[in-house]
Structure 1
Amino acid sequence: MSGFEKNGSSDVAYQLEGLDPREKAERIAASFVPPTPEEERKVIQKLDRRLLPLVFVLYSLAVLDRSNLGNARLAGLTKSIDLSGNRYAWLGTIFYISYICFQWMQMGWKQFPAHMWCAGVVMLWGFIATIQAATTSWGGLMTCRFLLAIAEAAYGPGVPLYLSYFYPREKIGFRHGVFISGAAMANAYGGALAYAITQIHGSIKPWQILFIIEGLPTCILAVVVFFLLPDGITSARFLTERDKQIALHFVARNQRLDVGKQQGLRFREMLEGFKDPKSWIPGFCYFGCNVSYASLPLFVPTIISEMGKWSPAQSNGLSAPPYLLCFFYIITVCWLSDRFKMRGPFCALSATIGAIGFIILATATKTGARYFALFMAVQIFASVALLLAWTANIHATESKRAGGYVVLATIGQCGPLLGTNVFPDSEKPYFRKGMWISAAFCLLVAVLSLMLSTWLIFENRKMAREGVPEVEEYEDTSIARETGVHERHRYIW
């Protein structure tokens, strides 16, 4: 591995050319100087400083641009465009139909250079989000929502896969938590921002100003992404050669790396991800999370306004605090998940808290109790962050993880098709049916999470009896495939 210290991965490949695959693996292992915990910590800090702010802010803007429809509705959208009957619900539904159909585009993160792929799709969705302000009809707004979903499907679902290229499997949960908490933060400041924008009176309507102000920053950030986002460890200019060596070492612990093949899918492994039944249970958990959560950004301002105490503008502002709490809860629970190296119990806990919140909303009539219950209901979103990390932990290779994430996202994103239609206007003011449905799916998430944990614990014990090591060190995917060694790894449950 000393070649990484001197000249990078291409020189290593040259030096090992012609050797037997097993000899290659032995040569790499023999020449590597193991890092100290302090060295690993410093490299992870460098990665955090570069990657986490970018993916957090981008996802925050993505969620803001998809969910500000609820704020725009209260800012006068319905006075300019006829959204009577089921038209408003269809604006949410058409987004998720498109989002589901184009989940396969997340594989672009593996197939193409990350900085080019990400910058392109971010610029596209920022442009579409902004021009929503120019729509004059329901059909035009439906078209924008459909196209917006295509661009966002190419970004958000692929970020967990991208992050798994850079971090140890036992530390990826916190990083996924930071990423996904961008959604909670967007819904928090989105409500406050919408409240402020509704106070603006100019030549165009407040809802149009809302779309412009929340869409243009995305286009600007796309340029930043093009220059700052690394494609992978070996091409990260902010890392020294020793840093790259250390990063490759800890990322390959109990999983395999595509050294020298950062772009390009291994289709055999991707198909293995599709066929692995352990890919499907997180997918159904994600489905349950999305039934419960995906509709909330669209309907929380309306739910609050129907409590009868506040104006539409105040309801936009009051929708922020529950999401702010959710932001801190996600960060905390994902850190604990990494600390204790377990996903299922924390996923089940978050889902149970969400279920209790929805049950209170379904049964209570007093304003204080219902508003407090919103703080609990939104915590179901923490389960999403844990599921993203869990999927990465289940699959050992980059391409298999890509397949697993496609299964996760495709099944999971079907949830909003149900979730966005369980709060019809006829159910005002308490929306009891939607609350009971959401509570039931939260409980389903809790049960499935515990079932998957039990399964993985059983598999770990079986591997222990068979002599599979608890910790496997550096493995290049190509070498592992050619030698047929180290095909199995212990699971984080």
Structure 2
Amino acid sequence: MPEDQAKSHDEANDHIENTHDISKTADAAVLSSVAEERSCLRRLDLWLLPFILFTYALQYTDKVILNGASQFGIVQDLHLYEIKGYDPKTHQPVQDLHRFSLATLIFYWGYLAGVLPAAFLAQKLLLGKFLSATVVLWGAVTMLTVMVSSYPGFMVQRFFLGVCESGAGPGLSLMIAMFWKRDEQPLRYAVWYVSNGIGGFVGPMLVYGIGHIHGGLRPWKYQYLILGAVTVAWGVLMVFILPDNPRSARFLKQRERDVAVARIQSEQLSEENKTVKLHQIVEALKDPKTWLTVMSTFCIHFVNGAVSGFGAIIVRSFGYGQFKSVLLTGCAGLYLLVMLIIAGIAGSYIRHSRTYIWCLVEAPVIVGAALIWNVSWTSERSAALAGFFLLSTFAPAYTMLLSLVGSNTGGYTKKVFMMGLVWSVYCISNGVAPLFVQTTEAAEQYPSMFKAVIVTASISVCCPLLMRVYLVRENKKRDQNSGLAFTHSNTAGDLTDKENLHFRYAL
């Protein structure tokens, strides 16, 4: 009997993760051929992935303009510093960038204030139109930065920028869960987060180039004005192209829309449902994997909050000049892009691998933080720079986490709530981490920050292993209780993963 149960469990997970045989999860009543489903998948990838990628690349770029603007006068113009005395050797004033840290931090508190309401608005409203409006709003607020002339005004602007951007993460997560099957999601999440690599590489180049415009405005104002205008234009274009659900995708023929809907139904995942069901929220709060996910999200993103706003400043501390600091920050984005693609392909094509990949890509963050903290920035700055690059691998870990949340959450309200909760914790982590960046510790190589990064990254390495143990146990329980492996059933009842006994968790 144990061997039969183990076999049933393996077959269930093989069925969930197998990316090489699309037809196995097809609803035979709708899908007539493998070729038909592959054609539908190609059209979804061709039309939707570029929109997801470019939208988040713009968000990442708009969010980190501050990083580049710090090299073009915004710190001085808006008084994002305080004088904490004078250097006894050079007699130069010692600047404390605590205000700059708070300006980085408050964006995420605005994001936190908006993310759960935004997640439920994404459920109640037309998803494509909601995302389009979100993009237009945050682009407009980005452009309005040019009107800011003081530190308090900048804090208000940063807070509302966070509120306006808060709908993008949950909305795009719901879109991936709505259009792609569970075994397809890791690669699509990776493509989404490749936008961070693109934004991290191209963004600093654009910011640096725009910063050399000579006109009636300060250089950093042109950065916000031009990139914000591009975002607004993109949001307007999205209104006409981005669908609200598979049934409204105008780039698909009617038959392909039916195929797209059946693909999701065959995965034991609920279709879009506009009714908010409180019992699904209660179930999510009682679910142990919810709190493992919360802890993991906080720990994964701590390093991002600690270094995203200070990247160019930290690299410049290694002894590089202004231009080279911005350029090297961009190269870190290119490294991130490569790592995301590798992790996404591995997660999609190596069965039962997502928790293992998550663990493996998080480990280099520990090494990177230890390098930056311990090597000499003057005689070993190449090693310090290598450590800075390694910090970027937190992002592939997050794509694995997001794909597991999307794959392992049944019930539309529960999925919406989980996505909102994950992005809320993302904000808290990014909002707390800048407090550990003490610019007065620069001579000591930021010990407070990098000690905290090492601790949180170490916890994040352990979390996916605990998650895997829990999910394997749950799958075995279901095999024992039902005597059934993964089978197809009607998802019209909007069942949660706890209610649907045929549901098996992806690993």
The structure 1 residue matched to 2:427, chosen from 379, 403, 413, is 413
Distance of 2:28 and 2:354 partners within structure 1: 35
Distance of 1:446 and 1:35 partners within structure 2: 43
Distance of 1:396 and 1:35 partners within structure 2: 26
Structure 2 partner of 1:34: 31
Are the aligned partners of 1:348 and 1:445 in contact in 2 as well (CA < 8 Å)?
yes
Structure 1 partner of 2:389: 375
Distance of 1:358 and 1:35 partners within structure 2: 52
| Most deviating of 414-423 and 449-458 | 414-423
Residue 437 in 1 paired to residue 452 in 2? yes
Are the aligned partners of 2:306 and 2:449 in contact in 1 as well (CA < 8 Å)?
no
Q: 4+ runs of 1 displaced by more than 6 Å?
A: none
* Aligned length, in residue pairs: 460
Are the aligned partners of 2:438 and 2:448 in contact in 1 as well (CA < 8 Å)?
no
Distance of 2:107 and 2:32 partners within structure 1: 47
Instruction: Spell out, residue by residue over 1:343-389, the C-alpha distance to the aligned partner (whole angstroms, 9 max, x if none).
Output: 21111111101111111111111111011111211111111111111
Distance of 1:199 and 1:328 partners within structure 2: 30
In 2 relative to 1, CA 375–480 (structure 1 residues): closer, same or farther, beyond 3 Å?
closer
Give the 3-state SS of the residue equivalent to 1:491 in structure 2: coil
Structure 1 partner of 2:115: 103
Distance of 1:273 and 1:458 partners within structure 2: 18
Distance of 1:114 and 1:284 partners within structure 2: 28
Deviation at 1:311, TM superposition (A): 1.8
Identity of aligned residues (%): 21
Distance of 1:187 and 1:30 partners within structure 2: 41
Residue 320 in 1 paired to residue 330 in 2? yes
- Code of the aligned partner of 2:46: R
- Code of the aligned partner of 1:340: I
Distance of 2:362 and 2:32 partners within structure 1: 38
Distance of 1:150 and 1:401 partners within structure 2: 21
- Code of the aligned partner of 1:330: L
Distance of 1:321 and 1:76 partners within structure 2: 23
Deviation at 1:317, TM superposition (A): 1.6
Structure 2 partner of 1:311: 321
Structure 2 partner of 1:450: 465
Distance of 1:486 and 1:234 partners within structure 2: 24
In 2 relative to 1, CA 237–361 (structure 1 residues): closer, same or farther, beyond 3 Å?
same
The structure 2 residue matched to 1:283, chosen from 281, 290, 294, is 294
Are the aligned partners of 2:126 and 2:244 in contact in 1 as well (CA < 8 Å)?
yes
Structure 2 partner of 1:391: 405
Deviation at 1:253, TM superposition (A): 2.8
The structure 2 residue matched to 1:91, chosen from 94, 103, 113, is 103
Distance of 1:165 and 1:219 partners within structure 2: 25
Residue 65 in 1 paired to residue 79 in 2? no
Are the aligned partners of 2:412 and 2:494 in contact in 1 as well (CA < 8 Å)?
no
Give the 3-state SS of the residue equivalent to 2:309 in structure 1: helix
Give the 3-state SS of the residue equivalent to 1:298 in structure 2: coil
Are the aligned partners of 2:31 and 2:37 in contact in 1 as well (CA < 8 Å)?
no
- Code of the aligned partner of 1:174: L
| Most deviating of 225-234 and 293-302 | 293-302
Structure 2 partner of 1:14: none
Deviation at 1:254, TM superposition (A): 3.2
Distance of 1:35 and 1:192 partners within structure 2: 49
Distance of 1:281 and 1:257 partners within structure 2: 23
Deviation at 1:448, TM superposition (A): 0.8
- Code of the aligned partner of 2:323: A
In 2 relative to 1, CA 159–343 (structure 1 residues): closer, same or farther, beyond 3 Å?
same
Are the aligned partners of 2:487 and 2:502 in contact in 1 as well (CA < 8 Å)?
no
The structure 2 residue matched to 1:181, chosen from 194, 211, 220, is 194
Deviation at 1:467, TM superposition (A): 3.5
Structure 1, unaligned runs of 5 or more? 1-28
In 2 relative to 1, CA 479–72 (structure 1 residues): closer, same or farther, beyond 3 Å?
closer
TM-score normalised to the size of structure 2? 0.86
Are the aligned partners of 1:106 and 1:155 in contact in 2 as well (CA < 8 Å)?
no
Deviation at 1:273, TM superposition (A): 2.5
Residue 77 in 1 paired to residue 86 in 2? no
| Most deviating of 117-126 and 339-348 | 339-348
Instruction: Spell out, residue by residue over 1:204-239, the C-alpha distance to the aligned partner (whole angstroms, 9 max, x if none).
Output: 111111111211111001111111111111111221
TM-score normalised to the size of structure 1? 0.89
Are the aligned partners of 1:359 and 1:435 in contact in 2 as well (CA < 8 Å)?
yes
Distance of 2:219 and 2:134 partners within structure 1: 27
- Code of the aligned partner of 2:49: L
Distance of 1:461 and 1:274 partners within structure 2: 23
Are the aligned partners of 1:348 and 1:446 in contact in 2 as well (CA < 8 Å)?
yes
Are the aligned partners of 2:268 and 2:490 in contact in 1 as well (CA < 8 Å)?
yes
The structure 2 residue matched to 1:202, chosen from 215, 222, 237, is 215
**What is the 5 A alignment of 1:122-161?**
122-161=135-174
